[in-house]
Chain A
């Protein structure tokens, strides 16, 4: 039982981890939190539904469509929120993104709302689940796709932050925006790409998770909250931390559900978030950064 629970906890945690990646990218480069991220993840799921189920095209077309939509949404979000993307406006930005979250949810309902209360996206790969260790570990193929997707995204991100100029710019803008501006780093471009990247990775997460669950317009916020918690647990500025935090959260949920009571599952996530925030605000991988007052 333990191994089966662990496997599904990890697979589910990867989902949270993917959303956490989006949180971390935005926080790393722009010191910002975007509440509409979960709803944009839902957009990723709905766009892939339209491409795969409604238009009958393949997953590759869906990825392209999700990428296009998320880049457009990212640039639009940046243009709307630009005046607020400064450290001193972090709370204003939070409220504005709550507004965006409503807006996006309303648009999803307007576009896809009439097609049914829940929509299903077929699995990207068909086939029997992978059975390992004599049935102790059972992994559905969709989870493998999710894991592979997460791994590819993490590698791309790590390479991006380490080896590209834009990635380096992002890190320096996050560290000290004024100094970065003085030395000639195009701050606005950096903030814009951070927003676009964050939304893209989230929308791809939506694409990867859509077949694992049914999609509906309100799916975003609960997942965003867990993704955010995963990012906090892992240290809000650490990419590997985001994934580890997500897995921790996923495993914690499934263990509570399996060994305590399934009605305590939801509560366990909130307790974990609360404890992590109060006692480990810098997370496990967080940079040591002293806070004033």
Chain B
């Protein structure tokens, strides 16, 4: 597969490491040195994991691609205090057992300095105990569950918009546009549940009534029943807690049945122009506005430079806004590594992360502030305008 050459070597190394680990790990005493694990004179080894293959690859592989592109830039400019960043990828295929084994492999066999990764909430939650016990610095880059980073753990940070924050921002947006009644369409998998659990109380808090609460599964090819039920409830707005596929089916059927309302998306549909093309029914997404942890979508003017870098490094993968979440996570990592200084230890890195309070990033809607360890506190609202271009209609932070 097309990937940078040095990564080719890295993968072979990983296979050797795995075999060696399986058969020899016990026979070899751990190398004791003054350096922190994964840090040498001229390298820092960072581990990442998430779905690289399988149905959810976009959340993992694409986010990793963005982060890797950023690290390549940093390395080219001389690295961090003279050290080059090495990225080790492990595939967890979005499976809890896979995530536990990926995290343990990174900690015990790869002996990485820190982990920046995690895409599926259930996987991260399954591996959380191991992460906490080992004390390894961990930045979660794509999984959204609030339970990952709250209650606050010393070594766990997140650069992704957490589900409770996203829900609160959605509720705030709805209150701002004057909606008093809302319908919810959710897919009932781990991701959809997590959103649903946080959105309903957030709406209540703003005094917004939930007049319809429907499910639309990934397998559905038809949403007639859901549209009709919601239509008869006459909500001011509809929140689509679903992946692009169910959301597009819902919007198509709404257009067909003549139902129109304000449709609110989530951060898995961060690009309304790409979504418009997926729905492929003229006019169906006219009232669709979506929330994104990235200030610009990937096909915007502002992201052009990164798009080129991504395409040349990963020609097989079409650029996607998830790439940009990886860039944000990478920038946070790099900033904290730089702040931790020459004598890099896990403690100094965590302390540096704790100090982050107004970090500007290329794509973050606002600055990053890690005092609660949930570093991203803001989101952008994006809409496809009448010229067919994605337009940021505003960024919001929690009141």
B285 at the interface (CB under 8 A from A): no
**Chain A 208-224 interface mask (CB, 8 Å, partner B; 1/0):** 01011110111000110
A181 at the interface (CB under 8 A from B): no
| Given known contacts A114-B318, A116-B318, A257-B225, A263 and B278 CB-to-CB distance under 8 angstroms | no
| Selected contact of A213 from candidates B216, B226, B249, CB within 8 Å | B249
B224 at the interface (CB under 8 A from A): yes
B7 at the interface (CB under 8 A from A): no
A258 at the interface (CB under 8 A from B): yes
Nearest CB of chain B from residue A60's CB, rounded to whole Å: 20
Whether B280 and A123, one on each chain, are in contact in the complex, defined by CB atoms closer than 8 angstroms, is yes
B58 at the interface (CB under 8 A from A): yes
Nearest CB of chain A from residue B58's CB, rounded to whole Å: 4
| Given known contacts A114-B316, A254-B225, A262 and B244 CB-to-CB distance under 8 angstroms | no
B152 at the interface (CB under 8 A from A): no
Q: How far does the alpha carbon of A119 sit from the alpha carbon of B219 in the complex, in Å?
A: 15
Nearest CB of chain A from residue B66's CB, rounded to whole Å: 15
| Category for how many chain B residues contact A | 35 or more
Closest A-chain residue to B226, C-beta based?
Answer: A262
B32 at the interface (CB under 8 A from A): no
Q: How far does the alpha carbon of A266 sit from the alpha carbon of B226 in the complex, in Å?
A: 13
B222 at the interface (CB under 8 A from A): yes
A201 at the interface (CB under 8 A from B): no
Q: How far does the alpha carbon of A53 sit from the alpha carbon of B278 in the complex, in Å?
A: 11
Nearest CB of chain A from residue B298's CB, rounded to whole Å: 11
| Selected contact of A262 from candidates B54, B225, B253, B256, CB within 8 Å | B225
Chain B residues numbered 62-100 whose CB sits less than 8 Å from any CB in chain A? none
CB contacts (< 8 Å) of B216 on chain A: these are: 262
B228 at the interface (CB under 8 A from A): yes
A115 at the interface (CB under 8 A from B): yes
Whether A118 and B318, one on each chain, are in contact in the complex, defined by CB atoms closer than 8 angstroms, is no
Q: How far does the alpha carbon of A9 sit from the alpha carbon of B317 in the complex, in Å?
A: 37
Whether B225 and A212, one on each chain, are in contact in the complex, defined by CB atoms closer than 8 angstroms, is no
B357 at the interface (CB under 8 A from A): no
Whether B220 and A265, one on each chain, are in contact in the complex, defined by CB atoms closer than 8 angstroms, is yes
CB contacts (< 8 Å) of B222 on chain A: these are: 8-9, 11-12, 250, 254
CB contacts (< 8 Å) of A254 on chain B: these are: 222, 224-225
| Given known contacts A115-B318, A254-B222, A262 and B228 CB-to-CB distance under 8 angstroms | no
Whether B317 and A114, one on each chain, are in contact in the complex, defined by CB atoms closer than 8 angstroms, is yes
Closest B-chain residue to A117, C-beta based?
Answer: B58
B248 at the interface (CB under 8 A from A): yes
Whether A217 and B55, one on each chain, are in contact in the complex, defined by CB atoms closer than 8 angstroms, is yes
Q: How far does the alpha carbon of A263 sit from the alpha carbon of B226 in the complex, in Å?
A: 10
Closest A-chain residue to B281, C-beta based?
Answer: A123
Q: How far does the alpha carbon of A211 sit from the alpha carbon of B278 in the complex, in Å?
A: 10
Whether A138 and B245, one on each chain, are in contact in the complex, defined by CB atoms closer than 8 angstroms, is no
Instruction: Name, among A250, A257, A263, the residue most crowded by chain B CB atoms within 10 Å (CB to CB).
Output: A257
B35 at the interface (CB under 8 A from A): no
| Selected contact of B226 from candidates A11, A123, A217, A257, CB within 8 Å | A257
Q: How far does the alpha carbon of A276 sit from the alpha carbon of B41 in the complex, in Å?
A: 68
Nearest CB of chain B from residue A44's CB, rounded to whole Å: 15
Closest A-chain residue to B59, C-beta based?
Answer: A117
CB contacts (< 8 Å) of A183 on chain B: these are: none
A155 at the interface (CB under 8 A from B): no
Q: How far does the alpha carbon of A240 sit from the alpha carbon of B274 in the complex, in Å?
A: 40
A140 at the interface (CB under 8 A from B): yes
Whether B245 and A216, one on each chain, are in contact in the complex, defined by CB atoms closer than 8 angstroms, is yes
Q: How far does the alpha carbon of A277 sit from the alpha carbon of B222 in the complex, in Å?
A: 25
A113 at the interface (CB under 8 A from B): yes
CB contacts (< 8 Å) of B188 on chain A: these are: 263
Closest A-chain residue to B320, C-beta based?
Answer: A116
Whether B228 and A216, one on each chain, are in contact in the complex, defined by CB atoms closer than 8 angstroms, is no
B18 at the interface (CB under 8 A from A): no
| Given known contacts A217-B55, A265-B215, A117 and B226 CB-to-CB distance under 8 angstroms | no
Closest A-chain residue to B228, C-beta based?
Answer: A1
Q: How far does the alpha carbon of A121 sit from the alpha carbon of B217 in the complex, in Å?
A: 20
B279 at the interface (CB under 8 A from A): yes
Whether B225 and A118, one on each chain, are in contact in the complex, defined by CB atoms closer than 8 angstroms, is no
Nearest CB of chain B from residue A263's CB, rounded to whole Å: 4
Whether B256 and A120, one on each chain, are in contact in the complex, defined by CB atoms closer than 8 angstroms, is no
B204 at the interface (CB under 8 A from A): no
**Chain A 115-156 interface mask (CB, 8 Å, partner B; 1/0):** 111111111000001000000001010000000000000000
CB contacts (< 8 Å) of B219 on chain A: these are: 222-223, 266
B221 at the interface (CB under 8 A from A): yes
Nearest CB of chain A from residue B272's CB, rounded to whole Å: 14
A109 at the interface (CB under 8 A from B): yes
Chain A residues numbered 97-113 whose CB sits less than 8 Å from any CB in chain B? 109, 113
Closest B-chain residue to A120, C-beta based?
Answer: B278
B20 at the interface (CB under 8 A from A): no
Closest A-chain residue to B216, C-beta based?
Answer: A262
Whether A209 and B215, one on each chain, are in contact in the complex, defined by CB atoms closer than 8 angstroms, is no
| Given known contacts A115-B318, A120-B277, A138-B257, A15 and B58 CB-to-CB distance under 8 angstroms | no
Nearest CB of chain B from residue A104's CB, rounded to whole Å: 15
B214 at the interface (CB under 8 A from A): yes
8 residue pairs bridging A and B, Cβ less than 8 Å apart: A4-B257, A15-B221, A120-B278, A138-B256, A222-B219, A262-B225, A262-B226, A265-B220
A residues apposed to B, CB below 8 Å: 1, 4-5, 7-9, 11-12, 15, 109, 113-123, 129, 138, 140, 209, 211-214, 216-218, 222-223, 250, 254, 257-258, 261-263, 265-266
B residues apposed to A, CB below 8 Å: 53-55, 57-58, 188, 214-217, 219-222, 224-226, 228-229, 232, 243-245, 248-249, 252-253, 256-257, 274, 277-280, 316-318, 320
Q: Nearest 4 CB-CB pairs, A to B?
A: A258-B225, A257-B225, A8-B224, A263-B215
Not counting A254-B222, A257-B226, A265-B215, a sample of 20 additional A-B residue pairs whose C-beta atoms are within 8 angstroms of each other reads A5-B228, A11-B222, A15-B221, A113-B53, A114-B317, A116-B58, A116-B320, A117-B243, A117-B244, A120-B278, A120-B280, A121-B280, A209-B221, A213-B249, A214-B244, A217-B55, A218-B55, A250-B222, A257-B225, A263-B188
